[in-house]
Structure 1
Amino acid sequence: MTTSRLAMLFLMPVLATGCASTASATRPPEPAEEKPAPHGEPPPREDGAALGYGYSSEDPIHVGGGVNGEHEYLEHLRGPQGQKVRYERRGSCCFFESPDSPFGSGLLDVYDVTYDGLEAPVTLYLNMYERKDPRAPEGFRLD
């Protein structure tokens, strides 16, 4: 394991101040696991096209700004009729190289997101290290 990967695993809970950590000072955190596929289906599209942006680790929402950037993005995210969303961080997954991370690599954060009228929560993947013109995933809007 590379030094930067080890540093990330040990220091990520310290840097992610917006997230609760159950790791003790004497025991290092467990390595992040790949999270299962979303438990809620994304809202259906009328044209039947596949959904992707934000709904998969292969095409995450690049919000930048660390944990605060994620929360700011989620506070502006709305349902299709302007419904306020509720969100809960499920964990992290999906190690990737990133020049914008203090360690040269990062993990995506996984959030369960819902709003009044949505049958089941959907899972969205956010990148807190890199900002690349974040937009609303299919079935949502940004206000």
Structure 2
Amino acid sequence: MKKLLIPLLFITIPCFSQTKTSTNEDKGVGDTRTKAVELMDNNTYWLTETTDDKTYGYDQLNPIKVGGANDKSGPLNERRFLNALFGPNNKKMTYFRAGSCCAFKTPNGFNNIGLLDRYRLTEIGSKDTLDIYINMYDTGDLKIPVGLKAKEKN
């Protein structure tokens, strides 16, 4: 009995990660900031405007655009924003970075690609948590997300 040799073919299938970009101009990529940002102190933004857009910050297609990647202040800007937030019961929030996700196109990223940082927030005294998506590559007008409050300036 003869053995039959069957040649094996290896097929390489390229894998690509899907990048999501918003088609809404207001939520677009790049720098869209129209208002100057003020600080309470070096670690806290002074937020005065609340949005009525329920997706702002809560949806990866509408992240909070703090900017700073180009001058290496991105992580500090993220903390400045988060330090300015209070919970719905007007109590301080604790937060931690839960990781990066959600690749998107931006002229301010490495090879025109950026990643969002996802933060998990909890109001002190509560067990409820929420996720906030922050873009440190692009700048946009900073607003208080729906359901949250901001620290008041002394």
TM-score bucket (shorter structure): 0.5 to 0.7
Equivalent residue for 1:133, pick from 129, 135, 141: 141
Which residue does 1:121 correspond to in 2? 129
Query: What is the alpha-carbon distance in structure 2 between the residues aligned to residue 135 and residue 142 of structure 1?
Result: 9
Instruction: Using the TM superposition, give the Cα deviation of residue 62 of structure 1 relative to its aligned residue in structure 2, in angstroms.
Output: 0.8
Q: Which amino acid aligns with 1:113?
A: L
Equivalent residue for 2:114, pick from 106, 112, 116: 106
Q: How much identity, in percent, do the aligned residues show?
A: 39
Q: Which amino acid aligns with 1:58?
A: L
Structure 1's consecutive aligned runs of 4 or more residues displaced over 6 angstroms after TM superposition are none
Q: C-alpha root-mean-square deviation of aligned residues, in Å? A: 2.1
CA contact (8 A) 2:53 2:146 kept: no
Superposition map of 1:1-143 within 5 A = 51-65=54-68, 66-143=74-151
Query: What is the alpha-carbon distance in structure 2 between the residues aligned to residue 118 and residue 130 of structure 1?
Result: 32
Structure 2 gaps, min length 5: 1-13, 15-51, 69-73
Partner SS for 1:100: strand
Structure with greater proportional strand content: 2
Query: What is the alpha-carbon distance in structure 2 between the residues aligned to residue 138 and residue 103 of structure 1?
Result: 33
Number of aligned residue pairs: give it. 96
TM-score normalised to the size of structure 2?
A: 0.56
Partner SS for 1:125: strand
Query: What is the alpha-carbon distance in structure 1 between the residues aligned to residue 141 and residue 93 of structure 2?
Result: 20
Instruction: Using the TM superposition, give the Cα deviation of residue 118 of structure 1 relative to its aligned residue in structure 2, in angstroms.
Output: 4.1
Query: What is the alpha-carbon distance in structure 1 between the residues aligned to residue 119 and residue 108 of structure 2?
Result: 21
> In terms of Rg, which structure is larger?
2
Structure with greater proportional helix content: 1
TM-score normalised to the size of structure 1?
A: 0.60
